[in-house]
Structure 1
Amino acid sequence: MSIADNLGQIEKRIEKAAVKAGREPASVRLVVVSKMQQPSAVDDAARAGQRLFGENYVQELVSKVSQVGEQVTWHFIGSLQSNKVRQIAGLVEMIHSVDRLSLAREIDRQWQKLGRICNVLVQVNVAGEATKSGSSAGELLELVRNISLLPNVRIKGLMTMPPFFDDPEGARPYFRELRDLSRMIADEPIANVEMNELSMGMSGDFEVAIEEGATLVRVGSAIFGERQAS
């Protein structure tokens, strides 16, 4: 099947999951994960109607921005080192993976140079896995309060990556916990903080994530197939 066919199938599954959860399908946005894909594949997806793409690696993002011919929007969704923030400043609409204050401060510095504001999501390690980045649930509120004071950063919501399960139902409690944390923060009167976005769910479990409130689902392999080295 073509990229366009795969996109169409994913969009139908997103719509079905949203309707099942009593939500408007338009409340869920698809972030097509294009890491390790050729720029031509991004162009193909864009010509099929997809406009929002997520990249995991700084160098690959910078390269693709200059090579993709279609008008698209980029999100940075991977682990981000502070010393590489300047390379993506101004190139992305949103960073999903802000997990510490030092990173947020560097984002603030780099976007301040541009006279612009960067939208971010705070990454939460809901399962407490040692191999994954993210704030702990217990430290989340303090981190959000501190980031909210940075003038060139705006928190728009939360992101998580749950443990891998063969059965997507296994991820449901982690998606639900992120939603509950989002509501907890939303109930706090913190200026410059919104909890409108929940980035959770990937190719294997995005339907469960949508049922638990995801507004951004990150899907790559189900659209592009096996990754190709660029």
Structure 2
Amino acid sequence: MEIFENSKKVEQKIQQSLEKSGRSPQDLTVVAVTKTKTIPQVEELYQFGYRHFAENRVEGFLEKKEDMNLPEVKWHFIGSLQTRKVKTVINEIDYFHALDRESLAKEINKRADHTIACFVQVNVTGETSKHGVSPDGLESFIHVLSEFPMVKVVGLMTMAPVDANESELHECFGRLKNLQEVIEAKQLEYAPCRHTSMGMSNDYEIAIQEGASFVRIGSAFFE
């Protein structure tokens, strides 16, 4: 019941943020982050209506996927992925949210048996503790990815500083949205880049207002 009630609260906040920014619910995909959560908890979110789920650890994800048998589920991998673990996970997911280096793209291209929908991770704020391509290096990195036909750049991803205030959050997410639009305008077949993956449990409302098309929500469902 707690998850169900929390889900209703999340949906209310999402609706309010969409209305505030004049956007349609069809423009947004909620990705439920289920790392460390049990299969019954995931199934409760599924019953509420969620179909997109995310994990950030290879071992936990593979075990969970093997034990679940739910139709229409889309799996997202949102954590930093070591090159040596690509072969284990890449053909089990629908979206990868943390493409941040050429060596990783090369390994994905080598191991994938189908085109992988990827978000390029951008370190918008320049924090040394975060992975990601710098905004200044983004266009050249996107160009490099043209060499890897199994990688399709569907969008950009970022994470805001955990201690950012509201103004800083708007700036961070707004900048990623602007970068996404720049890449999309290039009309690259291998990098249509129509989406932004930004916003988590503590800041998804502002991310939606700034144009997020994928939000990654975890603790808000379970606490």
- The answer to whether the superposition gives a TM-score over 0.5 is yes
Q: How many residues align?
A: 222
Aligned ranges 1:1-230 → 2 under 5 Å: 1-71=1-71, 72-111=73-112, 114=113, 116-165=114-163, 167-225=165-223
SS in 2 for 1:193: coil
Q: What amino acid is the match of 1:41?
A: Q
With over 3 angstroms needed to count, the CA separation of the structure-2 counterparts of 1:169 and 1:32, relative to structure 1, is: farther
Detail structure 1 runs of 4+ shifted over 3 Å in the superposition: 166-169
List alignment gaps of at least 5 residues for structure 2.
none
TM-score computed with the length of structure 2 as normaliser: 0.95
List alignment gaps of at least 5 residues for structure 1.
226-230
C-alpha contact (below 8 Å) 1:98/1:121 kept by paired residues:
yes
Q: In the aligned structure 2, how far is the partner of 1:184 from the partner of 1:53?
A: 28
The Cα of 1:168 is off from its aligned counterpart by 3.7
C-alpha contact (below 8 Å) 1:145/1:190 kept by paired residues:
no
C-alpha contact (below 8 Å) 2:52/2:76 kept by paired residues:
yes
RMSD: 1.3
TM-score computed with the length of structure 1 as normaliser: 0.92
SS in 2 for 1:202: coil
With over 3 angstroms needed to count, the CA separation of the structure-2 counterparts of 1:70 and 1:168, relative to structure 1, is: farther
Q: What amino acid is the match of 1:89?
A: I
Q: In the aligned structure 1, how far is the partner of 2:146 from the partner of 2:164?
A: 37
C-alpha contact (below 8 Å) 2:181/2:194 kept by paired residues:
no
C-alpha contact (below 8 Å) 1:32/1:52 kept by paired residues:
yes
Q: What amino acid is the match of 2:66?
A: S
The Cα of 1:166 is off from its aligned counterpart by 6.0
| Residue matched to 1:228 | none
